[in-house]
Structure 1
Amino acid sequence: MSEHLKWGILTTGWIAEQFASDIQLAGLHVAAVGSRSRERARALAARLSVAKAYGSYAELLADPEVDVVYIAPPHPFHAPEARAALMAGKHVLLERPFTVNAAEARSVVRLATVNKRMVMEAMWTRFLPHMARIRELIADGAIGRITSVHATHMQQLPREPTHRINALSLAGGALLDLGVYPVSFAFDLLGPPTALTAMARMNATGVDAEISLTMKHSGGALSVSTAALDQGGSNRAVVHGTQGRIEIDDVWYCPTCFSVYDDQNACIERYQTPVQGRGMQYQALALEAAIRSGTPSALMSNEQSIQIMETLDLARQQIGLRYPSDSA
């Protein structure tokens, strides 16, 4: 096996381009780009100086030189494209949300197991340097036992009814697109919830424009996750403990800084570190390491991806949001 695996990029949207650019900054090898449009594939390949551009996903998946693919289409296509890649013998980094629902998530993980390939959710925030330091501080008891986690993800996104973020047919809404970040953050620090209450404000197309989830976790800790797609917000996060707190600056789910306070409100640490690009390379490095070792990354396990989708399913059930793909 060469020094780095050969990556294929499935889709040519802005997040796929950012991901590819970031992993190139880290010295990883982007071998091919695939799109349903050969012109878009060629254009992105040219911008990234990638040799191969394919006019269909099937063509890219048939390339024997591609070891692992990054998949980032609209949500309803996550599971089908992941299954196709796994059947083609590729490892998969699958954009968040992992799938539209837990049933799809379980089917993808089963297929990965059968085909002896790795699939990992691209919850890139978990792999950022500031998140690693936060986990260290919590493990060392810097703020005592966690009592609550509060995080928001609010953006002013396009309002056109046909835009994917507002389209019921494309699993639109704040929860799956934005809310998955604070929910995943709560899972990362506290594990799955033992109880959940969700409330939402719906928009005219029938998807959630704003949603808030309050969860209770093992040991009694609480988490509050809020997301909105039609308004900006502070996009900060706070982890409260029995002996202090950690305040993460905006935008908490991207490379950023944070402060640690003791129970007397004195700042005892200020963390900041430069990150190349947007920081999406760390998840790719983790997946490459997992593939080489044969041991899945503990930072984003398939089990927890399924649990998160089960939680999002329950939240959608409580707010009355059902997608066409839920019946598939």
Structure 2
Amino acid sequence: MTGQTGQKVRWGILATGGMAARFTADLVDLPDAEVVAVASRTEASAKAFAERFGIARAYGDWETLARDEDVDVVYVATPHSAHRTAAGLCLEAGRNVLCEKPFTLNAREAEELVALARRHGSFLMEAMWMYCNPMVRRLKTLVDDGEIGEIRSVQADFGLAGPFPPAHRLRDPAQGGGALLDLGVYPVSFTQLLLGEPSDVVARAVLSPEGVDLQTGALLSYDSGALASVHCSITGGTPHSASITGSKGRIDVPYGFFFPDHFVLHRDGRDPQEFRADPADGPRASLAHEAREVMRALRAGETESPLVPLEGTLAVMRTLDTIRNQVGVHYPGETEGTGGAGEIGETGETGGTTDPAVTPA
């Protein structure tokens, strides 16, 4: 794709659940994008999805999509328990990949995907759409420019009221269930966007009878002296808010810190300053920003995005592993205390029908 600025980027969609539909709906509105193929575990599901969005080719297996030479990049939208398998198939076939978050079940799987991408010279990015959001980018610029001084603390939460029955994917260990990977990845990623990987982690959780976390809290410590408090839950709705306190002020994001419509900058001795989203950027829940970043990177010949760097994704996965190991959440096929070992089996595609990041409770 290098230098082909006038040519449309051809997308393949792997999976047909709610997250795939949400992303595709935003993608088809971009004039420089073309969705040319979709794959599901069943041909019927793929054909129904293709008819819904006007996609030319529908495949009843993932391998055929991975081998499709007319696809420039594949968007992987399976449950995260299948990310390693699905994204790995595409990378082995030489496809570029945008893979939903959390990137994988554990850091070991994430490292394997990164190694595959680098071996094949393919583009790979976690679909951490928060990092591509214009308001989040603006917030980070203010922090990087020293508007609130040195960061002293970060607080962020993401909790849904539920209740989620035992059969729901969020309660299913085989699908990587629990609050941490589905919801906690956001406050952890927000914190590490600003502070990087912590030097120490202390975590506590309440576990379900199935062995997944119903709610988890963690304190992340940094050599700079900064502390971060993150919380996630599938048993109680939280404000979905964040606050960054620095030596000269703070920034408050009252609601929806991963796709804010506004935030407030407080600086010592000055009136608060409110920053609001530009309507020209489109709906605040739009996934188009990450799609544009992928297409920009492909045209520039980049194998990863500076907005969502692979080392940052790996660092977040290491933190999630540490938290899970401390609270005792382990998934089938993982070795306790290691963040996982052995192949993770494939699962279905229908679990992510309502992504809470897109439609908060």
TMscore range, shorter length? over 0.9
Q: What TM-score comes out, normalization by structure 1 length?
A: 0.96
Where does structure 1 differ by over 3 angstroms across 4 or more consecutive aligned residues? none
What CA deviation, in whole Å up to 9, does each residue of 1:94-149 have, x standing for no partner?
Answer: 11111111111111111111111011111111100101110121122221111111
For residue 174 of structure 2, what is the aligned residue in structure 1?
A: 169
What CA deviation, in whole Å up to 9, does each residue of 1:172-212 have, x standing for no partner?
Answer: 10111100001011110001001110110111211000001
Give the Cα–Cα distance (whole angstroms) in 1 for the partners of residues 328 and 161 of structure 2. Answer: 23
For residue 247 of structure 1, what is the aligned residue in structure 2?
A: 252
Task: Note the 1:150-189 alignment, pairs <5 A.
Answer: 150-157=155-162, 159-189=164-194
Residue 327 (structure 2) pairs with residue 322 (structure 1): no
Give secondary structure in 1 for the equivalent of 2:166.
Answer: coil
**1:218 partner letter:** D
Give secondary structure in 1 for the equivalent of 2:181.
Answer: helix
Task: Note the 1:59-208 alignment, pairs <5 A.
Answer: 59-157=64-162, 159-208=164-213
**2:29 partner letter:** L
Residue 268 (structure 2) pairs with residue 230 (structure 1): no
User: After alignment, is 291-300 or 128-137 more displaced?
Assistant: 291-300
Cα drift, residue 26 of structure 1 = 2.6
Residue 28 (structure 2) pairs with residue 24 (structure 1): yes
* Contact 2:253 2:260 (8 Å CA) reproduced: no
**1:298 partner letter:** P
Structure 2 residue corresponding to 1:307, chosen from 304, 315, 320 = 315
For residue 38 of structure 1, what is the aligned residue in structure 2?
A: 43
For residue 289 of structure 2, what is the aligned residue in structure 1?
A: 282
User: After alignment, is 73-82 or 35-44 more displaced?
Assistant: 35-44
Q: Name the structure where helix makes up a greater proportion of residues.
A: 1
Give secondary structure in 1 for the equivalent of 2:156.
Answer: strand
Structure 1 residue corresponding to 2:298, chosen from 291, 299, 323 = 291
Give the Cα–Cα distance (whole angstroms) in 2 for the partners of residues 139 and 259 of structure 1. Answer: 16
**1:317 partner letter:** N
Residue 15 (structure 2) pairs with residue 7 (structure 1): no
* Contact 1:129 1:255 (8 Å CA) reproduced: no
User: After alignment, is 189-198 or 41-50 more displaced?
Assistant: 41-50
Cα drift, residue 249 of structure 1 = 2.8
User: After alignment, is 259-268 or 66-75 more displaced?
Assistant: 259-268
Give secondary structure in 2 for the equivalent of 1:151.
Answer: strand
Percent identity between the aligned chains?
A: 38
Cα drift, residue 57 of structure 1 = 1.2
Give secondary structure in 1 for the equivalent of 2:289.
Answer: helix
Give the Cα–Cα distance (whole angstroms) in 1 for the partners of residues 41 and 137 of structure 2. Answer: 37
* Contact 1:22 1:276 (8 Å CA) reproduced: no
* Contact 1:257 1:273 (8 Å CA) reproduced: no
* Contact 1:146 1:240 (8 Å CA) reproduced: yes
Give secondary structure in 2 for the equivalent of 1:324.
Answer: coil
For residue 258 of structure 1, what is the aligned residue in structure 2?
A: 263
* Contact 1:61 1:88 (8 Å CA) reproduced: yes
For residue 353 of structure 2, what is the aligned residue in structure 1?
A: none
* Contact 2:135 2:259 (8 Å CA) reproduced: no
Name the structure, 1 or 2, with higher relative contact order (CA <8 Å, separation 6+).
Answer: 2
Give the Cα–Cα distance (whole angstroms) in 2 for the partners of residues 324 and 115 of structure 1. Answer: 29
Cα drift, residue 273 of structure 1 = 2.2
Give the Cα–Cα distance (whole angstroms) in 2 for the partners of residues 292 and 138 of structure 1. Answer: 30
* Contact 2:37 2:56 (8 Å CA) reproduced: yes
* Contact 2:262 2:274 (8 Å CA) reproduced: no
Give the Cα–Cα distance (whole angstroms) in 2 for the partners of residues 128 and 317 of structure 1. Answer: 31
Give secondary structure in 2 for the equivalent of 1:77.
Answer: helix
Aligned-pair Cα RMSD in Å: 1.5
Give the Cα–Cα distance (whole angstroms) in 1 for the partners of residues 256 and 35 of structure 2. Answer: 28
**1:276 partner letter:** G
Q: Quick one: structure 1 residues 325 and 292, their matched pair in 2 at CA, closer, same or farther if it must change by over 3 Å? A: farther
Cα drift, residue 265 of structure 1 = 7.0
Q: What TM-score comes out, normalization by structure 2 length?
A: 0.87
* Contact 1:86 1:112 (8 Å CA) reproduced: yes
* Contact 1:85 1:92 (8 Å CA) reproduced: yes
Give the Cα–Cα distance (whole angstroms) in 2 for the partners of residues 214 and 294 of structure 1. Answer: 39
Q: Which runs of 5+ in 2 are unaligned?
A: 335-340, 343-361
Cα drift, residue 158 of structure 1 = 5.4
What CA deviation, in whole Å up to 9, does each residue of 1:202-259 have, x standing for no partner?
Answer: 1121100000111012311111111001221111111111111111131111242111
Cα drift, residue 270 of structure 1 = 2.8
Aligned residues: 328
